[in-house]
Copies of this chain bind each other. A is one copy, B any other.
Amino acid sequence: MADVISPAKLAPNPLFLRDEELRQGIELLFYAYRDFTGEPDAILAKLGLGRAHHRAIYFVGRHAGITVSELLAILKITKQSLSRVLSQLVLEGYIHQRPGKRDRRQRLLELTEKGKELERQLTRTQRERIARAYREAGAEAVAGYRKVLLGLIDETERRKILARLDSAGKGAA
């Protein structure tokens, strides 16, 4: 204000632009996630289930035969929290447990037919949403979306996740 010629008016302040750009990146992520997770809740509510159940069902479906500790590592919650969700899903016949062959302490998890049916139903709306966004944005944009999201993930996790994305659906030990 006191300056005769404000430097900010001569050249657009790069720090300001940067901050603005970054905040938009934050907010887009917030809004997208907000709307993305909103949809399946109605289906779940009717069954007396919540988002936590959706996440468990999704990843068990994605990695048939996953162990409890692997699932914990993906969800990053405590075993007590997972246990509540998981035991309910087993009780109600969505998920089946069997002891590991190599290591009989493990409980390998997989969806029952009922579980698979629910998984399909829950994921359908989200798949459609992503599909539409991909289609409208184009292949190049999709590559950018993937690249940036991957960069947002904790560095120590990135390798693991890339491996998981690749090996998914092939079943585990």
Contacts and interface: CB of A to CB of B under 8 A. Distances in A.
Interface of A: 18-36, 38, 55, 58, 62, 76, 123, 126-127, 129-134, 136-138, 140-154, 157, 161, 164-165, 168-169
B25 A145 contact: yes
Majority-rule SS of A interface residues: helix
**What 8 pairs between A and B have smallest CB-CB spacing?**
A144-B144, A133-B151, A141-B144, A145-B148, A32-B152, A28-B149, A137-B147, A32-B149
A23 B140 contact: no
B36 A29 contact: yes
A70 B129 CA distance: 26
A18 B23 CA distance: 32
Contacts of A36: 29, 152
Nearest to A143: B144
